[in-house]
Amino acid sequence: MATIIDGKKVAADVLEKCAEEITDLKSQGITPGLAVVLVGEDPASKVYVNSKVRKCGELGIHSEKIVLSREATQEEVLETVKNLNENPRIHGILVQSPPPPQIDEEAIVRAIDPAKDVDGFHPENVAKLALEDPTGFVPCTPAGCMELLRSAGIKTSGANAVVVGRSMIVGKPMALLLMARGSDATVTVAHSRSKDLPGICRQADIIVAAVGRPEFITDDYVKEGAVVIDVGINRVDDAEAKKGYRLCGDVDYASVAPKCSAITPVPGGVGPMTIALLMKNTIKAARFARA
Ligand code: GUN
């Protein structure tokens, strides 16, 4: 039976270390600060933004939540970012994705001071990740996945890893992290146009599913004994659930879990890690600001 990788527990360990670092920074008169910008009213984004702000409160990180209307203009969002870039109490800036369609997200990301880009989406930080330069910020979700693999004692060196999905938030940075020196996996990046996706996935010792489609990866995609990291958080209608929906991953847990050696659940797997790594990045930004 598969080991269930407990993301809540691993996240709690990361946050415990964060708390120690915050105490240390505060003793030097520095309180780390994070600004979270939400444009519009996407219900899932609202939940994520609120949990990020709540976590800051629990840890003693200063936070500012800035909510702009669904009709906000590009100029308004850019102005917000500019002010945050100049605000010395703010060390990390995050603009929740996806913004409404009138917003050019790439231009917003480029406007964020790379030293405050705790999401790791700015081209300078993307380059630093590719260059294996440790002064950059690594996107929180893939960094969280790597931490889960490490904590579960899963050997990546020489392993065949298949990343399903090529997004800038997860798939691409995940591939870079897995292939980086020290991780040393052999990485395949597959996506919606890949030929024989089940066949590619069956080659994998480690599968990272980041497709954004509910329960897409079934047992047919998974080799006996593989490790499966499920990045998906999908809302699917469920008349029997209190809220009218339930959360599920990109992996069909029921059919896949019995086949693999380790798997992350949804919820309680990758999700808690994303927030924990965001806190860690914010502390890193605060340390850099002082240096
Ligand atoms: N939307 C989904 N994941 C993320 C993330 O890690 N950062 C931001 N800014 N938006 C997201």
Active-site residue, 52 included: yes
Specify whether the backbone of 246 is left (phi greater than 0), alpha (psi in -120 to 50) or beta. Answer: beta
Active-site residue, 203 included: no
Average pLDDT, the chain: 97
The model's pLDDT over 163-208, given as tens digits with 9 standing for 90+, comes to: 999 999 999 999 999 999 999 999 999 998 999 999 999 999 999 9
Q: What is the pTM of this model?
A: 0.97
- State the pLDDT confidence band at 290, using cuts at 50, 70 and 90: confident
Distance 274 CA to ligand 1 centre (A): 9
Residue 140 CA: nearest ligand 1 atom is 6
- Best residue among 97, 108, 280 to mutate for probing ligand 1's pocket (most ligand atoms within 8 Å of CB) is 97
Residues with Cβ within 6 A of ligand 1? 94-97, 119, 140-141, 169, 274
Residue 45 CA: nearest ligand 1 atom is 1
Side-chain half-sphere CA neighbours of 237 within 13 A: 1
CA distance 104 to 131: 27
Burial of 250 per CB tally in 10 Å (0-12, 13-18, 19+):
buried
Q: What is the DSSP letter of 182?
A: T
Q: For position 291, what pLDDT does the model report?
A: 65
Whether the predicted pLDDT of 270 surpasses 90: yes
Q: For position 280, what pLDDT does the model report?
A: 98
Give the residue whose CA is nearest to atom 3 of ligand 1: 97
Active-site residue, 119 included: yes
The model's pLDDT over 49-106, given as tens digits with 9 standing for 90+, comes to: 999 999 999 999 999 999 999 999 999 999 999 999 999 999 999 999 999 999 999 9
Whether the predicted pLDDT of 226 surpasses 80: yes
